[in-house]
Structure 1
Amino acid sequence: MREFVEHWKQQARQLKLEVYALYLAYQDPRVPWSARVFTACVVGYAFSPIDLIPDFIPVLGYLDDLILIPFGIKIAISMIPAIVMTESRAKAQEIIRQGKPVNRIAAVIIVLIWLFLAACIIAFIVQN
């Protein structure tokens, strides 16, 4: 059982590294714009405290964490040139080794995007 838990902890650490590497990679000018947009969405969703399916819903609540985010990461990685991902992973490992990065500006932007989307949905509902 201990090996099983360790395996999943390692997978979670790897996933965090990949998300941060994607965050660094999508800023690289060598990445095509379509990959940048998709990767920005995946990274924003992964870092967002708001889930598509709330976690309190039994079983389905963790579906996005277990399936959607890893699937999005896999697609984003396939869209980015390999050399850029290699460099971004190395930068991400170094930054994480020095201490977890904190980007309050990115957090504020993500919250503002969610608030904007909620306002659009409410406006749409009120109009109909």
Structure 2
Amino acid sequence: MGPSLAHRLRIETHAVWLAVRDPRTPWPARALGMIVAAYALSPIDLIPDVIPVLGLLDDALLIPAGVWLMTRLIPAALMAEFRATAEQAAERPVSRTGVVLVVATWIAVLVALWWLLRGRWD
């Protein structure tokens, strides 16, 4: 039996993280990869997993879509190298940038909601 879907996604996400850090990766892929890797490796989700369906839907759609697009932007031989390195890695990296991006997004949403609703309560 082959590797699980979760294992493959973990390897692909790690490969994207490696691609972002490698100067041989084309700049459009690096820019997209920074967003994908930061979100995927962040310990905080954009939509918390405790929210039924939506909490898991963001991970199930956003991360695979970003990884798929990244594999289209990076030359196949280079992506194969990143995958091999990711497969050999023992631990999953954590993105502090991803944490900051997700927290900033939540703060922006809360501030926007507060700003929209404050006039209705006055």
Give the alignment's TM-score, normalised by structure 1: 0.73
Q: Deviations over 1:50-78 (max 9, x none)?
A: 32322222222211122221111111111
* Structure 2, unaligned runs of 5 or more: 117-122
Q: Deviations over 1:93-128 (max 9, x none)?
A: 122xxx21445xx33x33333444455556666777
Q: CA deviation at 1:38?
A: 0.4
* Structure 1, unaligned runs of 5 or more: 1-5
Query: How many residues matched?
Result: 116
Q: 1:24 aligns with which of 2, 8, 18?
A: 18
Distance 2:92 2:44 in 1: 20
- Tell me the C-alpha RMSD between the 2 structures: 2.4
Identity, in percent, stands at 39
Work out whether 1:112 is the aligned partner of 2:100. yes
Partner of 1:3: none
Work out whether 1:60 is the aligned partner of 2:48. no
Indicate the structure whose relative CO is greater, using CA pairs within 8 Å and at least 6 residues apart.
Answer: 2
User: Contact between 2:38 and 2:99, CA under 8 Å: does it hold in 1?
Assistant: no
Distance 1:44 1:61 in 2: 17
1:72/1:102 CA distance change after superposition, 3 Å: closer
Partner of 1:89: 83
Q: 1:13 aligns with which of 7, 10, 16?
A: 7
